[in-house]
Each structure stands twice: as structure tokens, then as C-alpha cells.
Amino acid sequence: MATELRMLRDVEWDAWSDTLNRAFGEPPPSPEQRALRRELTETGRSFGVWDGADCVATAGAFSFGLTVPGGAEVPVAGVTMVSVQPTHRRRGLLRAMMRHQLADVRERGEPLAVLTASEPAIYGRFGYGAAALDMQLTVDTLRLAAPELPGTDEVRLRLVDPAAALAECERVYARLVPARPGMLARRPGWDRLAVLDLPGERAGAGELQCVLAEVDGEVRGYARYAVKVVWEDAGPAGVVRVRHVEAPDPVVYAALWRFLFGIDLTSSVTVRTRPVDDALPHLVGDMRRCVPVLRESLFVRPVEVGAALAARTYRTPVDVVLEVADPFCPWNEGRWRLTGDATGAVCARTTDPAELALSVRELGSAYLGGFTLRSLAAASAVRELRPGALAAASVAFGSDVAPWLPHGF
């Protein structure tokens, strides 16, 4: 029987969600998880493939606002919930869904699509390039002195119920979003996801805790964490598992880390993701004891090359003609002249000779300033056609603040 690709109907949501769960091999969601997932699903952007009455593939998107270099918030499609049933894999269903979705994103006028990948090898063929890294840290707090800056003693710390303190924490988070490329402006409901604390997902740790950091009565930062109790023959060796630690002010940030380092009966801290330019390794005496694991996080796909490149600013003045290859979205193919600086940019079609040649995937990788055009050229993924063009464009595309996506979606 032929399969049919079509939009999700509200009444089909449960079956659609079960299809997704099966493809990931996950246990059924708790009622609380299911309700939140359903609330966050944008039905108008969710679709699937049906084989008769059976839903055999799923995909969707969130309408996000992404911070780009320069601080603008750009509307993007956050591609998500992609799955194909084991009975129907490797017959082209994913490819068909990606084609359908990118055409829809273009129609909506969103210049970029973004995603996090279950397996990084999947999405390059559809024009998505790895654009940001995240850094997981494991810190040996027994051997390190806790961070200390002048003023940390003036920061008042208060333990609160994570859900009850959401509004105060969100005010801090909202200040951070425009300051870092890769961050997403919060949409309704996503704050609750940040404090979801399902007993089945605690992996041996206790309940989620939240500590607020206040200066002059105002909340300036927060950390969310859970403690995993460990007793060894030699004594306590618990682990502080940090989910979030956020504070725009360095002194408040140091105060939060000092607190996390000092929790009784623990000897290490793990934090599941921080930006690669995080301050913590510089706040401790011995940065080797902050052991990092780097991993790609956010993938970026320019859907409209001209609009995407004009939506960000450039660290240094740039004037370059790009020859872009994009077999999956052929409307992007050809030559584009990009001119811009730290105040704005214009990108338009041109017939002038090309100076750099690259595919849309590399453009996605360089877009947020997380990977340089020079490093992509060293892997033969970018070709310099006019001497000097690579060095100038590579610096211009950079970002002083490393891009970072604090959470999956």
C-alpha cells in the first residue's frame, strides 16, 4: 500500500506521539510528560507519514526566536520529533519529510532551520551544519579551592522550590538570551520543561533543588542541581549534578559555584552543558581539574541564504562573493555578494566572480561564529577562489561570544 505524507490531526496526537517514542526505543512518557509534550507540540507544524491507518513516521517544528551574532532575534524553525518506524526505515521517508518541511519553512519566511541531532551523521545531506559546541564539565571539588571574587560574600543564597521560583529565574534567563548567539527566546511552557523532575529520570540522585542568588534583595542568578549520594569505604563521595547555573554578573556566578563546590558530603560536581568560553575554568586555580567533554549541539540550516546572511552582523567589515551549493534547496544555489560590518549587512544575488565556494552546510556551520571558515577550508569544505578572501571572511564571520544552546528540543 502507498504511504501518505500529511499534516497531523489533533485527534491523532497520541498515536503520533507513540510512533515517535517507539522509534527512539523509549519507555512510555509519564502522564505529566505526555501532557507537557502535547501542550508544546505545534500541531500546525507537525506532520507524519501514514501507511493505511498506521502512523509510521513523524516530524515537527517549534517556532523559535534564535539569537544571532549582533544580538538580533531571528525567527527560525526548530526541527524536532523526527522518527521513522523500524518497519519503514531506509525507504526515503525521512528524505520526503525533510523536503516537505524545508519548503514549508521557506513559505513561512523563516530564514533558518535549526535542530539537535540524535546522530550527527544524519542531517548534513539536508544542508544542516554543526554550528555550536557544548561543554560538559566534571570538577574535582575536593582538590580545588572554591571560586572566590571580591563581593561574593555579599551575595545572599536562598534555597527555594524550583517550580515556585520559575518567574524569578526566567527574568535572569531573559537577560542572557540576547547576549549569546545560539540561545532561544523562551516560548510559553518551556520554562516548566526546565524544572521537570521525574523520579524515573533522576538516575539515583535526589530531588531537583534550586538556589537563588540575590544582591540588594534582587534575584541576579540561580542554580538548579540534584545531589547523588555516594558512600565509599573512605567516606562520603557524593556528586552534585548541576542542571543549570546562570548569572550575567561574574561575582554572582562565582558565588553560585562556590556554593555548589561546598555542598556537604560531596566531592565532585558535574554540569551537563556550559558554553565553551565559560568562566568556570578561569575561576579555579587548576583548570585541568575541570575535565571537559565537547560535543556538537546546535545544527543550523540556512533556508534562505540571502535573508539569513543579512540577519546577523559581522565582527569586521566584509565584502565577499560566495558561490553556494545547495542541491537539496536549489533556490539557494549560485553567487551571493555579502557586504556588512558590526552594524548590519546586505546579501544579494550577483553575477560577479566568486571568491569563496562552499555548500550551504558549511555556511550553517560558520553562521553563529562557532566554527571558522578557515577550519572548514582546512578540511577542504570551503575553497578560496581569490587569495585573501578566506582570511578576511573567516575573521568577519567570527563571534566574540561562543554560540551555545543551553537545552535540547
Ligand X SMILES: CC(=O)SCCNC(=O)CCNC(=O)[C@H](O)C(C)(C)COP(=O)(O)OP(=O)(O)OC[C@H]1O[C@@H](n2cnc3c(N)ncnc32)[C@H](O)[C@@H]1OP(=O)(O)O
Give the nearer residue to ligand X in terms of CB position, either 122 or 196.
Answer: 122
Give the nearer residue to ligand X in terms of CB position, either 119 or 232.
Answer: 119
Q: How far apart are CA 309 and CA 326, in angstroms?
A: 15
CA atoms within 13 A on the CB side of 242: 27
Give the nearer residue to ligand X in terms of CB position, either 101 or 267.
Answer: 101
**Is 288 within any annotated ligand binding site?**
no
Give the nearer residue to ligand X in terms of CB position, either 117 or 263.
Answer: 117
Least distance to ligand X, CB of residue 195, Å: 23
Q: How many residues does the chain have?
A: 409
**Is 92 within any annotated ligand binding site?**
yes
**Is 22 within any annotated ligand binding site?**
no
**Is 90 within any annotated ligand binding site?**
yes
Least distance to ligand X, CB of residue 9, Å: 21
**For the chain, how big is the Rg over CA atoms in Å?**
23
Least distance to ligand X, CB of residue 119, Å: 5
Least distance to ligand X, CB of residue 91, Å: 5
Q: What is the contact surface with ligand X in residues (CB under 6 A)? A: 23-24, 79-84, 89-95, 115, 117-119, 121-122, 125
**Beta-bridge mates of residue 294:** 135
**Is 106 within any annotated ligand binding site?**
no
- Element (DSSP H or E) covering residue 321: strand 318-325
Least distance to ligand X, CB of residue 125, Å: 5
Q: Are 212 and 256 in contact (CB under 8 A)?
A: no
* Alpha carbon of residue 128 to chain centroid: 13
Cell readout for 283 is: 575561576
**For the chain, percent helix, then strand, then coil, each to nearest 5?**
30, 35, 35
C-alpha pair distances (Å), 38 with each of 29, 34, 43, 50 = 11, 6, 9, 20
Positions marked catalytic: 123, 409
User: 236 Cβ partners below 8 Å, 6+ apart?
Assistant: 229, 230, 264, 265, 266, 267
Least distance to ligand X, CB of residue 78, Å: 9
Write b or e for each residue in 267-293: b if 16 or more Cβ atoms lie within 10 A of its Cβ, otherwise e: bbbbbebbbeebebbebbeeeebbebe
C-alpha pair distances (Å), 59 with each of 44, 71, 225, 353 = 11, 29, 32, 39
Give the nearer residue to ligand X in terms of CB position, either 87 or 380.
Answer: 87
**Is 227 within any annotated ligand binding site?**
no
Give the nearer residue to ligand X in terms of CB position, either 77 or 338.
Answer: 77
**Is 83 within any annotated ligand binding site?**
yes
**Is 91 within any annotated ligand binding site?**
yes
Closest CA to 67 of 108, 105, 109, 112: 112
Binding site membership: which residues?
82-84, 90-95, 118-119
Binding residues for acetyl-CoA: 82-84, 90-95, 118-119
